[in-house]
Amino acid sequence: MIKRQTKSELRKQLQLQTQAFLKKGGEVAEVETGATGLINGSYRNAGFILNPQRQERTPLNGVLAQIDARKAERTQRSSPPKSTRQRKKVIYDDFGEPLRVVFE
């Protein structure tokens, strides 16, 4: 089983890598406070539109009326509802022992 690194071990490893980078002559660029990685200080707007033009909606009243008519036909053709019979249901206690019989 592979042991997962702890946060302190990861911190030590990063510290050692940073020190090795600096010893080899690497430099860390300092960035001014408040500087941003955004292009000209704004988000790239090519990906989304803030205020899109409203699209014309297709009226569906006729289509919905046809669907409702088909539903009404189906319900008229279907068989009459079955008579509701009472069913026996056994009520059990917390230990699984039957307590009483109830008709629903």
pLDDT tens figures, 44-80: 666 666 667 777 888 888 899 999 999 888 877 766 6
Please give the backbone phi and psi of residue 58, each rounded to the nearest 5 degrees, phi first: -90, 125
User: Which residue has better confidence, 99 or 32?
Assistant: 99
DSSP-derived letter for residue 46 is: T
The pLDDT of residue 42 is above 70 = no
Ramachandran area for residue 62 (φ above 0: left; ψ -120 to 50: alpha; else beta): alpha
- Is the entire prediction scored with pTM above 0.95? no
Tell me if residue 8 falls in helix, strand or coil: helix
Query: According to the model, what pLDDT value does residue 48 have?
Result: 62
User: Which residue has better confidence, 41 or 54?
Assistant: 54
Query: According to the model, what pLDDT value does residue 24 have?
Result: 94
